[in-house]
Amino acid sequence: MKQSRYFLKTSKTTPADDLSINAKLLEQGGFVQKVLAGVYDFLPLGLRVLQKIENIVRGEMDKIGNEMFMPVLHPKENWEKTGRWSGLDVLFKIKSQHGNEYALGPTHEEIVTPAAQAIINSYKDLPLAVYQIQTKFRDEPRAKSGLLRGREFRMKDLYSFHATAEDLDEYYNKTAMPAYEAVYKRLGLDALLTEASGGTFSKYSHEYQVETENGEDTIYVCEKCGLAKNKEIFEEGAKCTNCGKTSWRETKGCEVGNIFKLQDKYSKAFNLQYTAQDGSKNIVLMGCYGLGTSRVMGVIVEKFHDSKGIIWPEAVAPFKVHLLALNGAEKESGKIYESLLNSGIEVLYDDREVSAGAKFADSDLIGIPYRVLVSAKTLDKQSVEFKKRNETEAKLVNISDLASYIGAQNQKQ
Amino acid sequence: MKQSRYFLKTSKTTPADDLSINAKLLEQGGFVQKVLAGVYDFLPLGLRVLQKIENIVRGEMDKIGNEMFMPVLHPKENWEKTGRWSGLDVLFKIKSQHGNEYALGPTHEEIVTPAAQAIINSYKDLPLAVYQIQTKFRDEPRAKSGLLRGREFRMKDLYSFHATAEDLDEYYNKTAMPAYEAVYKRLGLDALLTEASGGTFSKYSHEYQVETENGEDTIYVCEKCGLAKNKEIFEEGAKCTNCGKTSWRETKGCEVGNIFKLQDKYSKAFNLQYTAQDGSKNIVLMGCYGLGTSRVMGVIVEKFHDSKGIIWPEAVAPFKVHLLALNGAEKESGKIYESLLNSGIEVLYDDREVSAGAKFADSDLIGIPYRVLVSAKTLDKQSVEFKKRNETEAKLVNISDLASYIGAQNQKQ
């Protein structure tokens, strides 16, 4: 992508009313633009990151469920059935000119449960799992943490349906948890499995927490096995549920996933039943498994940055290579750009007529993993300067070897 | 995908309050489920079709613009600036508990224009084009045409920005129109370029119309060159703008795209200016280019079906092959399923314990292009029955040749 023709402009202005690192770097870097507090445009550069995150999530979820797509507008009746029309304080409510009342979906139990009624009849139809990647809405009083707490945000939510508590446990522990671990591994995030409050219908839920300096949650991590507990359920002298030890380290975390056993809470409200092998009718049991994809984007920035800008992990970087053309090297840069594209490498090509200093600063701010600098100085040696965003040393690479050199870097990861 | 483990159930019940063919076949076939009038769940089977349509659209739009993603919640102020807060009758309005008022985006001029202000400074930044694929909202009084007229629907909207009227014309005619034609061609739709009302800010807009029996628009098609005019601007004895002839054929059409020259309507409202080469400040000119992706899905069903069900064009079919296992052929069917998957072919595998009749009926209803029938009868000959959904004759194909036989069908298209 040629930067001169890209819907992108970096900025030196810091957000006026949001002090979070992710808001600052993502807005200045031209990834997002604030439309209102907690509501953002994903500009082309930012959408590329979001899509990479969502495709990683999709890839792992496809192994454990079917993707579907539920609406934003939810009938009031469905939310009244579960008691959450009045019970959920962040629910956005809307009244049409024609007198109908809707909620804007903050989560989709009220939609997926009746949807499942048309699909599930018999024990033979179970277990079953569906997920979606959809925009969600919360009528938050304040929204000042960039992508970490939005009024409108992106989320993957998966729902599983089971005949028995054992089957729900099995899916929760042996299917969903490994899928979540696979997602975080691919995203380059070290996410701690964390016991958290289960609300009214389960003893615990589980969160995945990423340790960050400015994390909003306080968590206690078992010094022996790494299992964590959210402060909300932590008691002095508590034993680790996993290894039995009582030695804990206090730290700050950002939640990047939350999984619940819903048991029969929603299936009862909608009378979602199945016919068992003996002919009896039983209530289906459910689990739900959330992962905020735009939030993950914010957490990655909170975690991977330095004073100059973002340092994207390879798997979610908007481009692999940032190609900078310095004065007098435009023609050769254009050729290198074409040749990298032909090798299937994602390149952002800074072909703008701005100073070298501005190009360096923008490149550090945007945080693409590999920077390739084309200048008259090294062209004499048929070479370009290659530098990784997370290293300080640049290396001279022969132009004819560049594509394979970059390919080899990828494999080293 | 094994049908027994898929979030799918076909139904014999016809929609109570929607007589449209697309609603009937898509609901009965398990593609969508109505949540409320004009608002649907896309079940896994339906989402696959929608994603294929959107990926085709994305592929062509990526050639002419940058993809971004704008929000659903729009600030009231933006809509007041353009006069559409009170001027657009189908605008959904929402008031948060905290006193803020928002619109639910039915279109995004009110968002993309201020977004472009941060990007466009100089004539050097122009032309520029961005698009998104996003859910849109219209507070429709009635919604009884399935995916053709939704309260919540999917749409691709592209916006272009220009320094001069000539440049806007050039992009509109030479860049956007060919991209639209490429989309419809790939979708398997014959879409007629149709002159339509330009509203207040342009003489004409252009629609793309697909001839269908139950089309909501009346259009007049030039008998010589095929250019059409929407009834709203058609006058008796009118000359064709393209070829000058006056011979027209009246027919019914479904609109599958609408492109407008917005000129300075929105850029003036938001004071979107650029600095020209001579230092003067000028208002940017804009075009907008819409294409309803969920509507296209409905139109395809209106166009391609018979009395038994849907007949999906190859490019948007949810799967390539519907593999039906008859009684006594389960084991061999399972092997064929695995081998087709390994050949990279998308297969829906009907492994359910239901009658052969039910499998045939569901297969015709769902409308996957190729049906492969595995039965004890043909297994004796190491063969399966291959039938296209749009043909009546089945052919015997040797199991060992099946994958390459299917591949060859694809290439013939």
Tell me the mean pLDDT in the region A376-386. 94
pLDDT higher than 70, residue B16 = yes
Angle between helices A402-412 and A330-342 (to 10 degrees): 50
In chain A, the percentage of residues whose pLDDT exceeds 70 is 98
**Measured distance CA(B80)–CA(B70) in Å, rounded:** 19
Tell me the mean pLDDT in the region A246-272. 97
Query: Are residues A33 and B118, on separate chains, in Cβ contact within 8 Å?
Result: yes
**Mean pLDDT estimate for chain A:** 95
**Could you report the per-residue pLDDT of A38-93, keeping only the tens digit for each?**
999 999 999 999 999 999 999 999 999 999 999 999 999 999 999 999 999 999 99
pLDDT of residue A146: 95
pLDDT of residue B188: 95
Closest CA to A368 of A69, A6, A49, A60: A49
- Whether the CB of A44 is below 8 Å from some CB of chain B: the reply is yes
pLDDT of residue A412: 61
pLDDT of residue B245: 95
pLDDT higher than 90, residue A275 = yes
Distance from CA of B248 to the nearest CA of A (A): 40
- Whether the CB of A4 is below 8 Å from some CB of chain B: the reply is yes
Query: Are residues A75 and B35, on separate chains, in Cβ contact within 8 Å?
Result: yes
**Measured distance CA(A23)–CA(A34) in Å, rounded:** 9
pLDDT of residue B411: 62
- The 3-class SS string of chain A reads CEHHHCCCCCCCCCCCCCCCHHHHHHHHCCCEEEEECCEEEECHHHHHHHHHHHHHHHHHHCCCCEECECCCEEEHHHHHHCCHHHHCCCCEEEECCCCCEEEECCCCHHHHHHHHHCCCCEHHHCCEEEEEEEEEECCCCCCCCHHHCCCEEEEEEEEEEECCHHHHHHHHHHHHHHHHHHHHHHHCCCEEEEEEECCCCCCEEEEEEEECCCCCEEEEEECCCCCEEEHHHCCCCCCCCCCCCCCEEEEEEEEEEEEEEEECHHHHHCCCEEECCCCCEEECEEEEEEECHHHHHHHHHHHCEECCEECCCHHHCCCCEEEEECCCCHHHHHHHHHHHHHCCCCEEEECCCCCHHHHHHHHHHHCCCEEEEECHHHHCCCEEEEEECCCCCEEEEEHHHHHHHHHHHHHHC
Distance from CA of B377 to the nearest CA of A (A): 28
Distance from CA of A307 to the nearest CA of B (A): 24
**Measured distance CA(B59)–CA(A43) in Å, rounded:** 18
pLDDT of residue A14: 87
For residue B233, name the pLDDT band (cuts at 50, 70, 90). Answer: very high
Cβ contact A111:A134 at 8 Å: no
What's the token pair of residue A255?
Answer: 């939640």
Name the residue facing B67 among A36, A44, A100 (closest C-beta). A44
Cβ contact A387:A370 at 8 Å: yes
What's the token pair of residue B412?
Answer: 């013939």
pLDDT of residue B170: 98
pLDDT higher than 80, residue B147 = yes
Name the residue facing A139 among B67, B89, B96 (closest C-beta). B96
Task: Give exposure, B103-126, as e/b (b: 16+ Cβ within 10 Å).
Answer: bbbbbbbbbbbbbbebbbeebebb
- Whether the CB of A13 is below 8 Å from some CB of chain B: the reply is no
- Whether the CB of B319 is below 8 Å from some CB of chain A: the reply is no
Tell me the mean pLDDT in the region A165-176. 97
**Mean pLDDT estimate for chain B:** 95
**Measured distance CA(A113)–CA(A284) in Å, rounded:** 10
Domains in chain A: ranges and CATH: 3-306 (3.30.930.10), 319-412 (3.40.50.800)
pLDDT higher than 90, residue B111 = yes
Distance from CA of B193 to the nearest CA of A (A): 29
pLDDT higher than 90, residue A15 = no
pLDDT of residue A87: 92
* Residue reference for tokens 């049906």: B371
Please confirm whether the linkage preceding A127 is cis (ω < 30° from 0). yes
Cβ contact A38:A140 at 8 Å: yes
- Whether the CB of A130 is below 8 Å from some CB of chain B: the reply is yes
Distance from CA of B126 to the nearest CA of A (A): 8
* Residue reference for tokens 């399923």: B337
Count CB-CB contacts under 10 A for residue A312: 25
pLDDT higher than 80, residue B199 = no
- Whether the CB of B47 is below 8 Å from some CB of chain A: the reply is yes
For residue B201, name the pLDDT band (cuts at 50, 70, 90). Answer: low
- Whether the CB of B398 is below 8 Å from some CB of chain A: the reply is no
**Measured distance CA(A288)–CA(A119) in Å, rounded:** 18
Distance from CA of A126 to the nearest CA of B (A): 8
For residue A305, name the pLDDT band (cuts at 50, 70, 90). Answer: very high
What's the token pair of residue A333?
Answer: 């840069």
Helix (H), strand (E) at residue B387? strand B383-388
For residue B44, name the pLDDT band (cuts at 50, 70, 90). Answer: very high
- Residue A293: is it exposed, middle or buried by C-beta count within 10 angstroms (0-12/13-18/19+)? buried
* Residue reference for tokens 């808001």: A23
Tell me the mean pLDDT in the region B208-226. 95
The nearest alpha carbon in chain B to A37 belongs to B75
pLDDT higher than 80, residue B413 = no
**Residues of B (48-77) whose Cβ lies below 8 Å from A:** 50, 66-75
Number of A to B CB contacts under 8 A, please give it.
143
**Measured distance CA(A105)–CA(A397) in Å, rounded:** 52
Please give the DSSP secondary-structure letter assigned to residue B277. T
Query: Are residues B47 and A69, on separate chains, in Cβ contact within 8 Å?
Result: yes
Please confirm whether the linkage preceding B127 is cis (ω < 30° from 0). yes
pLDDT higher than 80, residue A201 = no
pLDDT of residue B412: 61
Query: Are residues A47 and B69, on separate chains, in Cβ contact within 8 Å?
Result: yes
Distance from CA of A36 to the nearest CA of B (A): 7
pLDDT of residue A144: 83
pLDDT of residue B17: 82
- Whether the CB of A169 is below 8 Å from some CB of chain B: the reply is no
- Whether the CB of B41 is below 8 Å from some CB of chain A: the reply is yes
**Could you report the per-residue pLDDT of A351-368, keeping only the tens digit for each?**
999 999 999 999 999 999
**Could you report the per-residue pLDDT of B262-297, keeping only the tens digit for each?**
999 999 999 999 999 999 999 999 999 999 999 999
Q: Which of A1, A3, A7 to mutate to test the interface with B (most CBs of B within 10 A)?
A: A7
For residue A142, name the pLDDT band (cuts at 50, 70, 90). Answer: confident
- Whether the CB of A152 is below 8 Å from some CB of chain B: the reply is yes
Q: Residue A243 contacts by C-beta under 8 Å, 6 or more apart in sequence?
A: A222, A224, A225, A227
pLDDT higher than 90, residue A200 = no
**Measured distance CA(A318)–CA(A266) in Å, rounded:** 39
**Could you report the per-residue pLDDT of A177-189, keeping only the tens digit for each?**
999 999 999 999 9
Q: Which residues in A lie closer than 8 A to residue B39 (C-beta atoms)?
A: 71, 73
pTM of the complete model beyond 0.95:
yes
Q: Which residues in A lie closer than 8 A to residue B40 (C-beta atoms)?
A: 71
Distance from CA of A302 to the nearest CA of B (A): 22
Task: Output the DSSP codes for B69-129.
Answer: B--SEEEHHHHHHTTHHHH-TT-EEEE-TTS-EEEEPSS-HHHHHHHHHTT--BGGG-SEE
What's the token pair of residue A136?
Answer: 């969600």
